[in-house]
Chains A and B, each alone.
Chain A
Amino acid sequence: MNPTLNLWLIPILPLAGAAINGFLGKKASRQGVTTVALLFSGAAFLWALCVAARFSSLSLPYQEFFALWIRSGSFRADFAFYLDQLSLVMLLVVTGVGFLIHVYSIGYMWDDPSYYRFFSYLNLFMFFMLTLVLANNYLLMFIGWEGVGLASYLLIGFWFTKDSAASAGKKAFIVNRIGDFGFLIALFLLIKHFDSLNFKQVFGAVAPLQPETAGAGLLTAVGLLLMIGACGKSAQIPLYTWLPDAMEGPTPVSALIHAATMVTAGVYMVARSHVIFDRAPIALTVVAIIGTLTAFFAATIGIAQTDIKKVLAYSTISQLGYMFMACGVGAFSAGIFHLMTHAFFKGLLFLAAGSVIHAVGGEQDMRKMGGLRSFIPVTFGTMFIATLAIAGVPPLAGFWSKDEILWKAYQASAVYWGIGVVTAFITSFYMFRLLYMTFFGDYRGAQVDAHGTHSHDAHGHGEPHESPMVMLVPLMILALLSLVGGLLGIGDSFEHFLAPVFGSTVAVENAAHGTELLLMGISVAVALLGWWLAYLLYYKRPELPQKIAEALGGFYQAVVHKYYIDELYAALFVKPLIEGSTRILWQDVDRKVIDAAVNDAGEGARHVSDEVRHMQSGNIRSYAGWIAAGSAVVIAFMIWTWTEAR
């Protein structure tokens, strides 16, 4: 029998923090708001650590019933929590990285007039994200899933007076709705066929089924629909366009929601549903193809971006593509491993980028940076570590997880591996390009004027300056995690840890150890090659990129404009929708049918009463005459029916 862990505390604590700050924060001091926000998110992290400490003594999966939610016939969905190795990893990542980003935000958001609102939203996000990862059924997971979408919307549009931020928030929300649509239909299918959304019951019912190798069936449909949901939330082709725009939000938000945690929810959901995907090879192939393509395309777009956060956004999309590639080839634990290391180094990259933006007074264009290394050494150091980690330089975190994915992909198909390696090269290139453009060369920014997107009235004038300690400490902790986080994966220990969740597929082909080492060598080589190329183009010969861009001409323009995907979507979906709504639905259907019907009914009533009102002459005797005539008719009718009845 399991001891009671009180898992419900973990999501509820941030919710309490959000409520307190949201309702009372406006009148409270900044110190008060900070205390509440840190206390509640920190308490959630501590409780998660306590759970982790007692984890080995549990019989898994540990389930905890909190309250009955829906009961209809034999269907039942509860507020109940589910803990196994997979949710533990997610739990620690979300609370740990989340807490660090809370700390960082104190410094980053200190001068913002809506300080309390920011922390209220941030805590609210934590609540929904923790609900998502701890849910024991798809429906509760969906609540968390929608909730993080809401928090994401609120935080992207945090500076809602800025038009671009408001529309970016809407875009994120609407694009996510498309994915949620798929997710919902998958849930309906599950209810229809298994009469349950409980993980244990659904997977128990699915497990005995045969893999749908011959043709697509129910499981394939469910898998594909779930993947549509994941595409929306995790910004995969074709629904990735919202994530770059989401960079309108404050940088800590980009770090927490749009890099470390929320966007990985899709990966988590696919991994959680691995029982279904395992039996739907077609769906799994689709997952792998989408992941691979997204990884590659997003990386190529990242090359030509000049906004420091946009580069990181496309990098995030690309790395998420790697995770889906891993899931698609059945290497769920590799995907989750990359999810975790990515949370460390991408969270760090965003926070460091935020520190850079803070240093130069709100500027995000890398062409106006440069030479910052000597001004902000700590930020530079941590960002350098993160760049090494994402580029896949051993022995940092990204190397181990990315290599694990590439190795598994190679076992599935050399094509995935080939594209993955090319993507790794591009990743390394654009990341070092970012590093060289930002930190090396000469400072190209303006010395004075420093009114960025957010208020830096107290400072932000003059030379770039290092951020306060409250921002640097989280950077250092994440840098440490990026350094050593990958060591968890040595000797497949991470995979062994997750093996009970995903079924034991560990150590199948240890014979091919030589091949694995060779592939590892190739990964390292392309990472270093990318580094060297970036060094050459953006440090040694900074005039070269311009020439290359001119030589490439149209293709380069296409990359700069993100392959015109946004324009394509606008022409294909948005414009027809607006035009159709305006011309047909509004001007024709609404005005000529619905409005006309209502108006004509009113007009008709007026005409009829115009005629009838002459009865009401105001003359009492004529009224009396009508009454008498009416009575005469009634009496005549009575006599008539009476004689008929005889």
Chain B
Amino acid sequence: MVPSSYVPLSYYLLLSGFLFACGVVGFLIKRNIITIFMSIELMLNGVNLSFVAFAAHWHALAGQVFVFFVMVVAAAEATVGLAIIIAVYRTRETLNVDQVNLLKL
């Protein structure tokens, strides 16, 4: 068994937080829907990384199980999300979220 102190937990968490923050920033500043979509994936994977890191650190399997769970949901979400994006593009002929604002007051 690899000693857990080989790479300290905090390194993983910092990387995880960095990935998550990248996702948030991308989500906030990008206009292209697909980029936003990828930012969401980035956030999910940032969280996933912290899950596996904790799982390794505490020798608990639950964290890894959760990661699989998140991946399954993310895959489903990607299917639906991409379908919606295609539908939006077909009707609006744009991928700029600022122009997808028909529900605006």
Contacts and interface: CB of A to CB of B under 8 A. Distances in A.
Interface of A: 613, 616-621, 624-625, 628
A628 B100 contact: no
B28 A618 contact: no
Contacts of B101: 618-619
B44 interface: no
Contacts of A613: 105
Contacts of B104: 616-619
A625 B27 CA distance: 9
A618 B29 contact: no
B24 A628 contact: yes
A503 to B, nearest CB: 86
Q: Which of A613, A616, A617, A618 has the most CB of B within 10 A?
A: A618
B98 A619 contact: yes
A159 B98 CA distance: 73
A613 B104 CA distance: 10
Interface string B72-105: 0000000000000000000000000110110111
Contact of A620 (B24, B100, B105): B100
Given A620-B97, A621-B97, A628 B105 contact: no
Nearest to B40: A624
Contact of A618 (B24, B31, B105): B105
B5 to A, nearest CB: 26
21 contacts: A613-B105, A616-B104, A616-B105, A617-B104, A618-B103, A618-B104, A618-B105, A619-B97, A619-B98, A619-B104, A620-B36, A620-B97, A620-B98, A621-B27, A621-B29, A621-B97, A621-B98, A624-B27, A624-B28, A628-B24, A628-B28
Contacts of B98: 619-621
Interface in B35-66: 36
Nearest 7 A-B pairs (CB), nearest first?
A618-B104, A618-B101, A620-B97, A624-B27, A624-B28, A621-B28, A625-B28
Contacts of A619: 97-98, 101, 104
Contacts of A628: 24, 28
Interface residues of B, number: 13
Nearest to B39: A624
Contacts of B103: 618
Contacts of B28: 621, 624-625, 628
Nearest to B103: A618
Chain A: interface secondary structure? helix
Contacts of B36: 620
Interface string B11-24: 00000000000001
Contacts of A620: 36, 97-98, 100
Nearest to B101: A618
A628 B40 CA distance: 13
A618 to B, nearest CB: 3
Contacts of A621: 27-29, 31, 97-98
Nearest to B24: A628
Given A618-B105, A621-B27, A621-B98, 7 more contacts: A618-B101, A618-B103, A619-B97, A619-B98, A620-B97, A621-B29, A621-B97
Contacts of B31: 621
B23 to A, nearest CB: 11
A620 B27 CA distance: 10
Nearest to A621: B28
A432 to B, nearest CB: 88
A620 B102 CA distance: 12
A616 B105 CA distance: 8
A618 B100 CA distance: 8
B105 to A, nearest CB: 6
A401 to B, nearest CB: 86
A224 B100 CA distance: 81
A619 B28 CA distance: 11
Nearest to B25: A628
B42 to A, nearest CB: 14
A613 B100 CA distance: 18
Q: Which of A616, A619, A621 has the most CB of B within 10 A?
A: A621
A340 B77 CA distance: 91
A354 to B, nearest CB: 74
B20 to A, nearest CB: 11
Nearest to B33: A620
Nearest to A617: B104
A619 B96 CA distance: 11
Contacts of A616: 104-105
A245 to B, nearest CB: 63
Nearest to A620: B97
B95 to A, nearest CB: 12
A636 to B, nearest CB: 15
A621 B28 CA distance: 5
A45 B100 CA distance: 85
B40 to A, nearest CB: 10
A628 B23 CA distance: 11
Contacts of B29: 621
A618 B102 CA distance: 8
Nearest to A628: B24
A613 B31 CA distance: 23
A617 B98 CA distance: 10
A76 to B, nearest CB: 65
A181 B36 CA distance: 75
A340 B31 CA distance: 99
A617 B28 CA distance: 15
A570 to B, nearest CB: 58
A548 B36 CA distance: 108
A27 B62 CA distance: 78
Nearest to A632: B24
B81 to A, nearest CB: 13
A620 B35 CA distance: 13
A622 to B, nearest CB: 9
A621 B100 CA distance: 11
Contacts of B100: 620
Nearest to A622: B28
A415 B93 CA distance: 107
A620 B32 CA distance: 11
A20 B36 CA distance: 76
Contacts of B27: 621, 624
Nearest to A625: B28
